[in-house]
Amino acid sequence: MSYEDTSVLDDGTRQAIDIDRSRGDFTFPERNKFDAGRGLSEKTVDYISDVKSDPDWVREFRHKALKVFLDKPMPTNWATSDLNNIDFDAIRYYLSDGEKPKRSWDEVPPDVLETFERLGIPEQERAFLAGVEAQFDSEAAYSNVKEELSKQGVIFVNSTEGLKEHEEIFRPWFGKVIPTGDNKFSALNSAVFSGGSFIYIPKGVKLKQPLQAYFRINSENFGQFERTLIIADEGAEVMYMEGCTAPKFETSTLHSAVVELVALKGAKIQYVTVQNWSSNVFNLVTKRGLAMEDAEVRWIDCNIGSRLTMKYPGVIMKGRRARGEVISIALANNGQHQDTGAKMIHAADETTSNIVSKSISVGEGRSTYRGQVHIPKHLKGCKNNTECDALLINSNSRTDTYPAITVKGNRHSTQHEASVSQVSEDMLFYLMQRGLSEGQAMSLAVNGFINDLVREFPMEYSVELKRLIDLEMEGSVG
């Protein structure tokens, strides 16, 4: 999409320039064979179950979840009034062309292939990925993992294939890390979920290259509800990277995913997200990991796009010496609210958690850190570090921090640090005197603020992240 921004000329006037802010703002005509229509009811749930040929236990799971969703009130204690603008009766809950996921890009329909080529996904797969799943609206269009990994027992398929073809691994953990009734939107996902990834890494298998999923919304008035379950068996290691885009529509789009991670004894899971939704998307996501003895779960999370994001990746450290970490970057521009944070639940001795959150508020953008750390009295030797730093770009920018750290007993170590700073006019003036434009100077200041966290992202994502921030900073001052 193209926005009109301004650059400062030598005489102090401003010149309008067009900047292509997002590779994701394009769409193709719909070619859906299956369309559940607008609105949510038991008929909607049955339609989805029929199309997907769900087993009886999945259909029952969906209907119970629908009842929970309808019974639960809209959250008000921590949400914004913007949630009331979601019209659930206007959303289309399932759209699909009826095709099964392809194992070769040559078999993917031409318009879908062009979509992912413009986003660079096949190129990334060739360059550095061990496997890719590419979802288009409600279903995966492409799903493949390297042959040598399949021979080692690695499973990387969509959630429908997972629950049908690997039920003995899938079912025991499905809905156990995040129960249906966890919140209103986890219940909504449980009722209408489609797409998402199922990954199983066998004992002792350590993936040297990351797996990636890319979630693409193409249609207007659409809700995307992928469901991801990743299980790393004892001593296994995996990095999973997630990207997402949608075109800009005048109407609202809903994205409400559920992600469950299970790291068994000594396993390590890294889950990396770079979100760049368009500014009409409500992004309401529930993500949580379970770390057993000596296991580690790391969430590395970047939120730039969307109208409203509410996302709080969590880790339940259930085994002794388990570790949980959330590294988070959020950028809120005009008309955006990034309500993000982390949840760390210590449930065993000698567990360690680390939260590092940095937010940038631009124009009238609003960023919120909302965190929860819980260490019970009966445990010993637990450690937590929480850092929340915010950067305000303009006088109308807003940032809020709500850290809830509950530590009982006296055999633990916790520390908390928070700061709010503003880019000074003196700094911008100094940089602009050395030949930088206003936007370039601001971009340099912002990248300096988050540079230590950007290093945590894989190289390919850190380059993309810097590019997105450069675009967001153009015309952000004045």
Is 12 a residue whose pLDDT tops 80? no
Mean pLDDT of 111-127: 78
**How far apart, in whole angstroms, are the C-alpha atoms of residue 272 and residue 421?**
27
- pLDDT, one tens digit per residue, over 459-473 is 767 777 777 777 777
**How far apart, in whole angstroms, are the C-alpha atoms of residue 409 and residue 425?**
47
**How far apart, in whole angstroms, are the C-alpha atoms of residue 402 and residue 444?**
28
Length of the chain: 478
> Assign residue 173 a region: left if phi > 0, alpha if psi is -120 to 50, beta otherwise?
alpha
Is there a contact between 26 and 247 (Cβ–Cβ < 8 Å)? yes
Question: What distances in angstroms separate CA 322 from CA 47, 135, 177, 408, 416, one per listed residue?
Answer: 42, 33, 16, 19, 20
Higher local confidence (pLDDT), 470 or 410? 410
**How far apart, in whole angstroms, are the C-alpha atoms of residue 40 and residue 449?**
43
Is there a contact between 269 and 241 (Cβ–Cβ < 8 Å)? no
Confidence of residue 17 (pLDDT cuts 50, 70, 90): very low
Higher local confidence (pLDDT), 279 or 402? 402
Long-range contacts of 441-450 (CB under 8 A, 24+ apart): 442/393, 442/473, 442/476, 442/477, 443/469, 443/470, 443/473, 443/474, 446/331, 446/360, 446/391, 446/393, 446/473, 449/358, 449/360, 449/389, 449/391, 449/421, 450/329, 450/358, 450/360
240 strand-pairing partners: 211, 271
**How far apart, in whole angstroms, are the C-alpha atoms of residue 175 and residue 288?**
11
Residue 23 confidence (pLDDT): 54
Using the structure block, give the residue that is written with the tokens 């988050």.
450
> Assign residue 104 a region: left if phi > 0, alpha if psi is -120 to 50, beta otherwise?
beta
Confidence of residue 431 (pLDDT cuts 50, 70, 90): confident
Mean pLDDT of the chain: 87
Higher local confidence (pLDDT), 293 or 443? 293
Query: What are the phi and psi torsion angles at 81 (to 5°)?
Result: -65, -15
- Reduced to 3 states (helix: H, G, I; strand: E, B; else coil), residue 201 is strand
Sorted by sequence, the CB contacts under 8 Å of residue 276 that are 6+ apart come out as 22, 24, 243, 244, 245, 304, 305, 468
Is there a contact between 471 and 2 (Cβ–Cβ < 8 Å)? no
Is 283 a residue whose pLDDT tops 90? yes
Is 235 a residue whose pLDDT tops 70? yes
- pLDDT, one tens digit per residue, over 314-334 is 999 999 999 999 999 999 988
Of the candidate ranges 41-55, 102-116, 131-145, 400-414, the one whose mean pLDDT is the lowest? 102-116
DSSP labels for 166-188? SHHHHTTTTTTSS-GGGSHHHHH
Using the structure block, give the residue that is written with the tokens 């660079």.
120
Share above pLDDT 70 across residues of the chain, in percent, rounded to a whole number: 91
Residue 16 confidence (pLDDT): 29
Is there a contact between 246 and 217 (Cβ–Cβ < 8 Å)? yes
- As given in the structure block, the two tokens for residue 462 are 């850190």
Is there a contact between 279 and 250 (Cβ–Cβ < 8 Å)? no
pTM of the model: 0.89
Higher local confidence (pLDDT), 411 or 50? 50
Residue 448 confidence (pLDDT): 85
- pLDDT, one tens digit per residue, over 59-107 is 999 999 999 999 999 887 665 668 888 999 999 999 998 888 888 888 8
Residue 443 confidence (pLDDT): 82
- CA atoms within a 13 Å half-sphere pointing along the CA-CB vector of 165: 11
- As given in the structure block, the two tokens for residue 321 are 């010496």
Residue ranges of the domains in the chain? Answer: 21-473
Long-range contacts of 111-115 (CB under 8 A, 24+ apart): 111/28, 111/29, 111/31, 112/28, 112/136, 112/141, 114/28, 115/26, 115/28, 115/216, 115/218
Give the sheet arrangement for strand 131-136, strand by strand. Answer: 139-145, 131-136, 211-216, 237-245, 268-275, 296-303, 323-332, 352-361, 383-392, 413-422
- pLDDT, one tens digit per residue, over 254-264 is 999 999 999 99
Most confident range, picked from 116-130, 259-273, 419-433: 259-273
